[in-house]
Amino acid sequence: MNVHLADWIIIVFFLLASIVISIYLSRRAGGSTTDFFLSGRRLPWYIAGTSMVATTFAADTPLAVTELVAQSGISGNWLWWNMLFGGMLTVFFYARLWRRSEILTDAEFVSIRYSGRPARFLRGFRAVYIGIFMNSIVMAWVNLAMVKVLEVMFPDLRILGLEGVSFIGMEFSSHLIAVGGMLVFVAAYSAISGLWGVTVTDTFQFFIAMGGSIILAVAALGHVGGISGLQEQLSESAWVFDFFPVVEGGEQAVAATGMLRMTVVALIAYLGVQWWASWYPGSEPGGGGYVAQRMMSAKDERHSLFATLWFQVAHYAIRPWPWIIVALAALVMYPGEADKGATYVMAIRDLMPTGLLGLLLAAFFAAYMSTMSSQTVWGASYIVNDLFRPFIKRGAKERYYVGVSRVTTVVLMLFSLVVTTQFSMISDAWRFILACSGGIGLVLLLRWFWWRINAWSEISAMLAPYAVYPILVFRYNLNYESILIIIVAWSTLVWLVVTYLTKPSDRDTLESFYKKVHPGGAGWRPVSESMPDIKGDTGYSRLFVNYICGCLMVMFSLFGTGKLIFGEFLHMGVYFSIALIAGGVIYYNLSATDLGGTIKH
């Protein structure tokens, strides 16, 4: 495989376009930390939502989907499709509240919702634990995926004639050094323009990445003889085309030797617990991280809701199918390949002619860069707003904090590169994060709607898993699904007991929060009854209908698109009809009510 001049021209053009966008938007980011981290709260929904999608479109994502399809067929994607149920909760119940809170980061939320020293400790702890520790693990995972891409595309890569270098006991391969060079580039344009540059370049990069994925899927289908040829060559493994998992013990489970077969425990863990109980970047219960950052950056509450709704539609219903098609074709093209994730990159290497090869490489660079830029700007917002400003340097001018933000963005990226050297394989990192955050999800959901939740509730829910995780893993060697269920039950018990054994936030803090956010509901009645002049949100039954219809709309759009691709037009018509009806109900309810569910007069 040779990358020709035409390919390099396309790649360089893509990189130049990204930096030009950032330079053009740099003036918008320099006025204050609100401008740098939240785009001055002026993002339209389509930019904010597309930026969310682009951030989750990392270099590792198509590789991970390829592995899931190889192991368990199309139904293997339920391991992440289940997150839709939590994401749609964010759309209709939480997006407006995040925008209404007028805070800079989701870590700052604790300072307006809780009181006293526990709140102060929690804010700083979240900045370190999530903004640095968890964030660095995620970024290292993405870095390693990009290393794998370069290893397949440029197996003989040398930097200054060397295969790699050692530094203070850490090994930097030539491919990791190349990834480091990309990080420097990403750090440069992120530091220049803040979230304005990140979100606009995200949008540009998303269309490049999505277009490249579609081109590769078309080429892969052509190579294996189209859909009919694909189905014929995989006829002995027809289970790979099924959309739904089988619960082990049924009749199909015997015949479906490779299909995703869920035990009852696994079914409960993935479809009944994981999506609401665990914290994970991009899928936080109730929203959080860079998703909350985009919601808080939106022009108003309506733009916040529509940005998050577009994210769910694009993330689950539109984006996966090109990856799935390539993954299925790769089963035919590379049947004996041990590293199934790498076969996605092999398809690029073997199928793309000059010019298109450069476009596909640019698409991978786009996916990588959009994720890393968002992760670093989001992580830097934690460090500056929730650690540096309140604990290290108070009362400085806004331009000073913007300068610190820019430096922090670069330092965080370089730190992620160092963390990457400490891993050879982190394919189970997401399971570790989901298990060790088990139980925090319910606190994150209820803290908006139940006055009794306090800072100790959140602290205990974050720490409780670590008391039992080593025992479950190293002594009893349980599987992930069992560990998750046990940790969620344990953590929930711990934080409920702690909540009732500790004092609630002081009355002034609770009343101030309710006055600003006014979420309404029975959970705030002890506070709202003393504030009759503040009108809380109502109409939660309509919001719940919107939630159910949102899940139906996205899921049946996903399935309908699949049936269209496989030529099953009757099923396609049924699925798209259900999606349209669900979308119509949402449109009617949003037109007839305000975002809080109250009927318009």
CA distances to 65, 550, 576 from 313, rounded to whole Å, are: 18, 9, 13
CA distances to 30, 95, 151, 252, 367 from 51, rounded to whole Å, are: 20, 16, 28, 40, 11
Claim: this prediction has a pTM higher than 0.75: yes
Q: Please choose, from the candidates 193, 167, 372, the residue with its C-alpha nearest in 3D space to the C-alpha of residue 281.
A: 372
What is the average pLDDT across 200-217? 90
Q: Please choose, from the candidates 229, 239, 287, 220, the residue with its C-alpha nearest in 3D space to the C-alpha of residue 76.
A: 239
pLDDT band at residue 253 under the 50/70/90 scheme: very low
For residue 23, pLDDT over 90 is answered with no
At residue 153, the pLDDT reads: 85
Of all residues in the chain, the percent with pLDDT exceeding 90 is 46
At residue 190, the pLDDT reads: 77
At residue 546, the pLDDT reads: 96
Contacts of residue 461, defined as CB under 8 A and 6 or more positions apart, other chains included, come to: 439, 440, 442, 443, 491, 492, 494, 495
pLDDT tens digits along 219-235: 999 999 999 999 999 98
Of all residues in the chain, the percent with pLDDT exceeding 70 is 92
Residue ranges per structural domain of the chain = 5-425
For residue 309, pLDDT over 90 is answered with yes
Alpha-carbon gap, residue 75 to 244, rounded angstroms: 5
pLDDT tens digits along 53-74: 988 887 778 888 998 899 889 9
pLDDT tens digits along 469-511: 999 989 998 988 899 999 999 999 999 999 999 999 999 999 9
For residue 302, pLDDT over 50 is answered with yes
At residue 255, the pLDDT reads: 42
Count of other CB atoms within 10 angstroms of residue 336: 4
Tell me 164's DSSP state: E
For residue 596, pLDDT over 70 is answered with no
> Which tokens hold the place of 167?
């530094």
Count of other CB atoms within 10 angstroms of residue 10: 20
pLDDT tens digits along 336-391: 898 888 899 999 999 999 989 998 888 888 888 888 888 888 888 888 889 888 88
pLDDT tens digits along 547-581: 999 999 999 999 999 999 999 999 999 999 999 99
What is the average pLDDT across 280-305? 89
Tokens 């995972």 — which residue? 141
Lowest mean pLDDT among 183-197, 255-269, 473-487: 255-269
H/E stretch holding 261: strand 261-262
At residue 256, the pLDDT reads: 43
For the chain, the average pLDDT equals 87
Q: Please choose, from the candidates 66, 129, 558, 134, the residue with its C-alpha nearest in 3D space to the C-alpha of residue 325.
A: 66
Highest averaged pLDDT of the listed ranges 181-185, 381-385, 444-448: 444-448
pLDDT band at residue 162 under the 50/70/90 scheme: low
> CATH topology for 5-425?
Sodium/glucose cotransporter (1.20.1730)
Alpha-carbon gap, residue 436 to 463, rounded angstroms: 9
Question: Kindly report the CA angle at 94 between 92 and 100, in degrees rounded to 5?
Answer: 115
